[in-house]
Structure 1
């Protein structure tokens, strides 16, 4: 936000120390981004009137002028500007004047005639304008007055970086409040903006059907205005130095009100309203040509203003329509001053490809109690500048709700600040910030002003106190902490172990955005949860991720595009299956792609496959040796023949496998990667640690081979073996699967290794008894035969 320092100074009784004020504002969070002088250094230039003007006798493009600069006699000046003529008032550099660039004016012969000075253009005094020739001044400009004083050229434009939570400071009034609170500077009495009595009936109606988005609306009709005149110099100057282009008197007045007190406004041509204003949600597909000639196709999440014919005439809080905007021919107007909620305006400039100062303010929040003051100030300026007759007000106010009181204690304030601040000083600071206070002993109740919608909790109040008190006044102190050394809790230890395992296998950890594009949300859609959509998305990232695959695949794409032959990445982060915290589980996901080993002369590089990732999964789930893989009911993103669900204790905790090749083209990959997903929140709930001493007795190893039907899932058989809880069984593993030979086409041979170890030397009878139970299980439940 840009401001004129001299105009800001005009709100104060005392002269401000600019450097001190800007330093205090920066330290208080209103960062000064830069300063720029309005005009370069020059001197000796005054206002003069051309009283005689004739052609130079020896030059076609020069004029011989006599000018009155209030110096006692007329000055003879030769001028080459095309717009010089009798009666104009212009800047005149007399002999001895110094122009920008240290150019000194002296008597000079021009084609045989002496010129005693120079008439100046805007460029020549560092004030460029659109006029070809001299800078023409208003007819009432006082002759002989220093041009620096008249044009207020000893001014400085200051640019602030206003953070999104401080929309209340996007006006001169807001900055004045801050400066007064920070420095104690006295503010001049604020004029009272009184309502006007209607002098004519305009029969204008108002209907607000979307009160959630428009909680306060004030309109005022003014007839017989003149918009074909020139905006006063003082008003144009304030607008231009505040970064706003002058357009016409009526538009300039609404912009001035916005800059002055912070309320965005709009002026409608009353003839295009057809007697009514309606505030409603748009219908999908409605069309509106905006003031900047952008053609907007409206969506049903957009609040619009419509006329008496139910035709949209403005996007609420963003921009008005071209047809209903004021022109130089406009004579009857309706001023609009409304409170549109930030939620209803956010994202609309991006959606419709427009920018406006109004939307910038409404998105950050506007004081909901400014609307009457703003429209009355605008009406006052319209009458003074454009004339006219006041018509009727139209008004809508939803249920008025004050900001909730915030309760805290003085002792708590000092504890959080780390320094004892006197109670009187705390109250003085908060009062200067516009808060209402109730004090009861150590208890303090604070009601923030209507324009400080960012103050919601007690920490916000403490922050305000520190801002004004001064961060630099708080002494540095070492914290009084008791240091304890402890082990990681089980969850943290598990997460650290997962990362160590993956790093050991050559994976790289990534941290990706939690929000993704609509395209990836559709490809990697969760089988149940719908993606949470953002109201104000960043650069097209409109959905919260329902899994981590999109981030992994985008990292893969980036690396492949840069020539990577092998990619191994993983991420441990939350996904979003809903807005509630319990619907945001923590997931561990990994991806492998490309060749498993680098190019070498000894062997041909092998492409990664399912088993390269399966060995990683085995180690990650080492605490759950009986976990199962099931290839049924896979999410559609997975290849049905090369993927499986991961099941622990009858609960699906993730998936492993290759992404479906049908997405090759959409993802821009030659082949699809292998990935795994694990819900580590579910894993941590099922983790069971069993500590036991190492046995000093020898292990006993036995092998059994069974012939199963090919449809039998060996993992189910393994789980059933574990459920038998065989005494002294230390481990069971599949070491061979065989088909063909003398087996039927519908059969397969599975060989298992059993390892037994106990707290004594095991006898053959003990081991055989355990294996008999396995044989019985295989025959009775799976109809398997021992080979």
Structure 2
């Protein structure tokens, strides 16, 4: 939100510089994002009037103007389309300095002398408007310094308000804060009732009182909308980022900025019958003020007359009933809309307005009549008119209920760490607008209608700390009985996994927990994911049930940016919904590790051959990770299928028989949908299964030599090598120390239905050197077991 410092100081004027005021607001929780001058740095610019203008003799788009600048008359060559006799505009005299250190000198334009420059707003750093000269009011005194006339020695204060501080979305709320922080009274504006000059009324009916419990309005007849807004009003709007449109719209915008109450004015002659606040009906639409036509849903609250919708409640008015050049009679409205039902409505239509921004966060529900009276008085002063009596439709039972909040004296030192005198507590709470009643234990506070963020004791404590000053809170050491939880040595740390993967060339990715529903369907079609009620965007509408969609998107972006080798991993939660109808009650949040690789096996180098990464590259990286817990023998890989993974290149990962993950190449259909040239290999595992290891134990080193025997067998192609290795381990006996698969062969010289597997078996004993007889016996047991269980043949015998 942008506000004018001068405007704020009209309400409360602390003895602080601009920088000190900005710092004070920031320390009070109203963070100042920027403090900027309202105009560029310039000098020598005065109010001037064009008294004569004629076409330049040698240029179609230039005019030669005689300009009165008070003490003298000068000739100016000007190309602005609105340069005309009688126009008052800023004149940069010869010697003036404009923003950017641009000095004005005498010049000749197409042979005609020009003694200065008539200026547009952009040339003075007032705004971006550069389509014509800056038009000044007809009563602007010629010759007056422009900075003095417009009071340009002012600053814009841009405040980044958090959503809970809707009470500060107006000058009045910020002034209330500044007055409290500096112990100064606030000069509130007058909102005295305006007496009715006519008896005209307009019927108002609330059909949705739970969403609009208060609606206030009045008829104003015989206005003169041709009268422009006064300069002070236009300037205040401009400095807060709003342009002047006409006096009626300007006044409603002014009340929005001043009091924080959105308002709207209808052309009374275009309304039919009366006002009805209701939800939209099927098939209704509304042409909006921004030129769009909204197709209304039945959950949208609208302001309607007897002919149909005339405004989207709390968001934007309709074009058919808008105030325009021919308007003579107004119906001026001021309403309160419940924040909850309105939240997200504007965004669902692709809109965001100043009104919706405030109503979604909460507007003071007792402010509407005062705002209406204030706006009426301003309109009568500017455009004249005859006001009717105030019409108020209210459902008191539907207005927000603000229960009293108790603050215990003992909680202040316990939670804030210091003692605060009772007088200071009462001063702060009273200054915030709370009604304070002393009790035996502390205070009972009634919450004002403009504070939607105070409901529990902790809120009051936060207000005390904020207003007292976070920078003034004493620093003290924590004193508590802290119990250090035991850290099992058998469990790996997540940090060790991350370091290990980074050491193997991976980079950690952090992706959103929200994913595109189409991407979610592509990777996990069997799961009906949890949908967000108010998503950030359509591409982030559901909670992920797998980490692979996020990683795949990251790989896609990398590939589209000419990255030929990608290695990514991510740790995070995946969200598994429960039984249908269980809602969030059955939701499981599973800590997960995901890995994904694509591109070349090795980084480009003269020392290694270029080849694409395959299934076994990712499997090798995963097996090295499994080895960190010293229980890799409990894990096994078995062939499986998955909709997102390539048939024949997919495996389940099990631990002691329980499935804990999957690994494989992405399916060609998935690669095509993502526009990625494959292959891309992916793995996903439950983190708990990966982190649970074995307790390290010392094993004495053997002083005796090892004996290695190699074994090559022929088996059916359908038999997994891992299955054979399990059989070999079981049959080899207690002396087997290592088993390694070092060769796989299929092809010439072998039955097409069979394959050759070669194993290296290493035997050793801790207490003696093993004899050939013992080793041969173990090998015979292995061969017999393979022949019996898998119809295996020794390769040298088969050939």
2:667 pairs with 1:670: no
Q: 1:148-547 maps to which residues of 2 (within 5 A)?
A: 151=149, 153=151, 156-165=154-163, 166-188=165-187, 191=190, 194=193, 199-208=199-208, 211=210, 214-233=211-230, 234-279=232-277, 287-297=285-295, 303-310=301-308, 312-341=309-338, 352=349, 354-384=351-381, 385-390=383-388, 392-396=391-395, 399-403=398-402, 409-437=408-436, 440=439, 448-455=447-454, 460-475=459-474, 493-518=492-517, 520-525=519-524, 527-533=526-532, 535-537=534-536, 541-547=540-546
1:1-36 deviation per Cα after TM superposition (whole angstroms, max 9, x unaligned): 333334333324888765543332233233161242
Provide the secondary structure at the position in 2 that maps to 1:251.
helix
Cα shift readout 1:396-424 (whole Å, capped 9, x = no counterpart) = 56633435666665454335444443343
Q: Contact 1:39–1:127 at 8 Å: present in 2 too?
A: yes
Residue aligning to 1:629: 637
Per-residue CA deviations over 1:366-410 (Å, capped at 9, x if unaligned) read 334433333343344445544234264334566334356666654
| Closer/same/farther in 2, CA of residues 726 and 365 from structure 1, 3 Å limit | farther
Distance 1:448 1:774 in 2: 85
Q: What is the distance in 1 between the residues matched to 2:142 and 2:244? A: 28
Task: Tell me, yes or no, if the aligned pair for 1:162 and 1:170 is still in contact at 8 Å.
Answer: no
How far apart are residue 765 of structure 1 and its match? Answer: 9.7
SS in 2 for 1:644: strand
Tell me the distance in 2 between the aligned counterparts of 1:618 and 1:509.
18
Cα shift readout 1:113-158 (whole Å, capped 9, x = no counterpart):
xxxxx999998999999996984435xx8x9997889956265242
Q: Is the Cα contact below 8 Å between 1:570 and 1:589 reproduced in 2?
A: yes
Segments of 5+ residues of structure 2 without an aligned counterpart are 55-62, 103-115, 578-583, 795-799
After the TM superposition, which of the residue ranges 727-736 and 498-507 deviates more from structure 2? Answer: 727-736
- Match of 2:241, SS state, is coil
Distance (Å, rounded) in 2 between the aligned partners of 1:28 and 1:330: 45
Is contact 1:262–1:366 with CA below 8 Å preserved after alignment? yes
Give the distance between the partners of 2:90 and 2:152, measured in 1 at CA. Answer: 18
TM-score in terms of structure 1 length: 0.76
Q: Cα offset for 1:258?
A: 0.8
- Unmatched 5+ stretches in structure 1: 70-74, 104-117
Shift of 1:719: 7.4
> In 2 relative to 1, CA 483–203 (structure 1 residues): closer, same or farther, beyond 3 Å?
closer
Using the alignment, how far apart are the partners of 1:14 and 1:602 within structure 2? Answer: 73
Identify if the C-alpha distance between structure 1 residues 661 and 305 changes in structure 2 by more than 3 Å, giving closer, same or farther.
farther
Q: 1:510 Cα deviation (Å)?
A: 2.5
In structure 1, C-alpha distance between the alignment counterparts of 2:635 and 2:90, rounded to whole Å: 92
Instruction: Supply the distance in 1 between the matched residues of 2:397 and 2:751 (Cα, whole angstroms).
Output: 80
> Could you say what the CA RMSD is over the residues aligned between the two structures, in angstroms?
5.4
Compared CA separation, residues 131 and 587, structure 1 to 2 (3 A): closer
Q: Distance in 2 between matches of 1:551 and 1:2?
A: 38
Question: Does the CA contact (< 8 Å) of 2:229 and 2:250 recur in 1?
Answer: no
**Residue 605 and residue 467 in structure 1: after superposition, are their counterparts in 2 closer, same or farther (change >3 A)?**
same
Q: Distance in 1 between matches of 2:641 and 2:64?
A: 89
Matched, 1:620 2:625: yes
Task: Give the 3-state SS of the residue equivalent to 2:536 in structure 1.
Answer: strand
> Residue 266 of structure 1 contacts residue 337 of structure 1 at CA under 8 Å; is this kept in 2?
yes
- Alignment partners' CA distance in 2, 1:534 and 1:368: 27
Q: 1:589 aligns with which of 584, 588, 594?
A: 594
Aligned residues: 744
Q: Displacement of 1:737 after TM fit?
A: 6.2
Shift in Å, 1:568: 1.5
SS at match of 1:499: helix
Three-state SS of the structure 2 residue aligned to 1:330 is coil
CA contact (8 A) 1:280 1:303 kept: yes
Query: TM-score, length-normalised on structure 2?
Result: 0.75
Residues in 2 aligned to 1:278 and 1:43: alpha-carbon distance in whole angstroms: 56
Alignment-derived partner of residue 24 in structure 1: 24
- Alpha-carbon distance in 2 for matches of 1:508, 1:92: 59
Relative distance call for 1:127 and 1:137 in structure 2 (3 A) is: farther
CA contact (8 A) 1:21 1:183 kept: no
